[in-house]
């Protein structure tokens, strides 16, 4: 069998195994669903808050945005956390030592993370349709838009997580990503229309995928009249696809090079030094 095909088949099998483990491990389920439950609870309290010009409440408007944010959160921080942990516990070094191991390793993690994210998105969708008035998901056009945004969002964000995971090798440095990440969410129109922000903050927010994923999900799930509170009163569908595609292409181009460099630098001594540093920092 072709070694590349074998590596991809191994990776896909690994993805299914990891997904099964995640879906049957209470800590994994709670680690994902508990933050979402808090966010949904907040959205429920916002069901009575109206937004000027919007046909739905602020809570209903925020549900699609929350789905978009979750794709970014899982794609970027999920893969980043996996790579940092595996560089410390030796999993990455073991994968490197096997023929085609790195390919299978990455395919496995990316596949399992994508499937688990899709599961979490499905849970949010069910909750949104059950408890929030005004969400619409009753036509093939909306289904196609929803699935396309989901797939393109994962393609744009997971390679970004790989890039960051290749650059950051100490769990303590996660804060270097988390703080800017939270600030970016705050200015991306996830919890309130971006049009309420100053123009320069709107420009920064639109430079990153978080805003566009939220916009795409709002387009897929909200009534057409909801476009009145968007920038220019336009869904800007083509621009949304182009921005997400550009991020996907750029991150997919950079990620393999950085991951290859990271793998070449991995050794028993570097792993031992990294583990010792973590033990000193965290006790």
| The predicted structure's pLDDT at residue 242 | 97
The domain limits of the chain are 3-282
| The predicted structure's pLDDT at residue 107 | 86
Cα–Cα distance between 7 and 106 in angstroms, integer? Answer: 10
Dihedral angle sign, alpha carbons of residues 270, 276, 281, 283? positive
| The predicted structure's pLDDT at residue 172 | 76
Give the angle subtended at the CA of 11 by the CAs of 117 and 254, to the nearest 5°.
75
Residues 171-207: tens digit of each pLDDT: 777 878 888 999 999 999 988 899 989 999 999 999 9
Displacement of CA 187 from its chain's centroid (Å): 17
Cα–Cα distance between 279 and 282 in angstroms, integer? Answer: 5
Phi-psi region at 40: left, alpha or beta (left = phi > 0; alpha = psi -120 to 50): alpha
Helix extents (H) in the chain: 3-23, 26-45, 58-72, 79-89, 91-96, 101-131, 140-167, 175-186, 199-205, 209-221, 237-265, 268-282
Burial tier of 96 (Cβ tally within 10 Å: 0-12, 13-18, 19+) = middle
Global confidence as pTM? 0.89
| The predicted structure's pLDDT at residue 280 | 66
What pLDDT tens digit does each residue of the chain (283 aa) get?
577 788 788 889 989 998 898 888 888 888 777 888 888 888 888 888 888 888 899 889 999 999 999 999 899 988 888 888 888 777 777 877 777 777 888 888 889 999 989 988 988 898 889 999 889 988 999 999 999 999 999 999 998 998 898 888 777 778 788 889 999 999 999 888 999 899 999 999 999 999 999 999 999 999 999 999 999 999 999 999 999 999 999 988 888 788 878 877 777 677 677 667 666 665 5
| The predicted structure's pLDDT at residue 7 | 79
Residues 6+ apart with CB under 8 A from 113: 74, 75, 78, 79, 82, 158
């Amino acid at each position: 069998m072709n070694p590349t095909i074998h590596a991809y088949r191994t990776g896909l099998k690994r993805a299914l195994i990891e997904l099964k483990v995640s879906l049957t491990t209470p800590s994994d389920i709670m680690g994902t669903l508990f933050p979402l439950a808090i966010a949904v609870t907040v959205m429920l309290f916002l069901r009575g808050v109206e937004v000027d010009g919007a046909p739905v409440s602020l809570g209903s408007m925020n549900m699609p945005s929350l789905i978009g944010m979750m794709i970014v959160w899982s794609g970027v921080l999920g893969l980043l956390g996996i790579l940092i942990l595996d560089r410390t516990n030796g999993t990455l070094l073991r994968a490197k030592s096997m023929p085609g191991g790195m390919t299978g390793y990455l395919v496995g993690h990316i596949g399992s993370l994508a499937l688990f994210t899709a599961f979490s998105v499905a849970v949010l969708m069910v909750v949104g349709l059950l408890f929030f008035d005004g969400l619409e998901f009753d036509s093939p056009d909306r289904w196609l838009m929803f699935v396309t945004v989901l797939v393109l969002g994962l393609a744009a964000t997971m390679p970004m997580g790989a890039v960051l995971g290749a650059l950051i090798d100490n769990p303590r440095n996660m804060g270097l990503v988390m703080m800017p990440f939270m600030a970016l969410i705050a200015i991306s129109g996830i919890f309130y229309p971006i049009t309420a922000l100053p123009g320069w903050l709107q420009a920064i927010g639109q430079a990153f995928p978080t805003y566009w994923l939220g916009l795409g999900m709002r387009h897929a799930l909200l009534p057409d009249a909801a476009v009145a509170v968007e920038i220019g009163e336009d869904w800007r569908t083509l621009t949304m696809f182009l921005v997400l595609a550009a991020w996907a292409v750029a991150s997919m181009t950079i990620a393999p090079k950085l991951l290859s460099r990271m793998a070449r630098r991995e050794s028993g001594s570097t792993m031992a030094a990294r583990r010792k540093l973590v033990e000193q920092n965290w006790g």
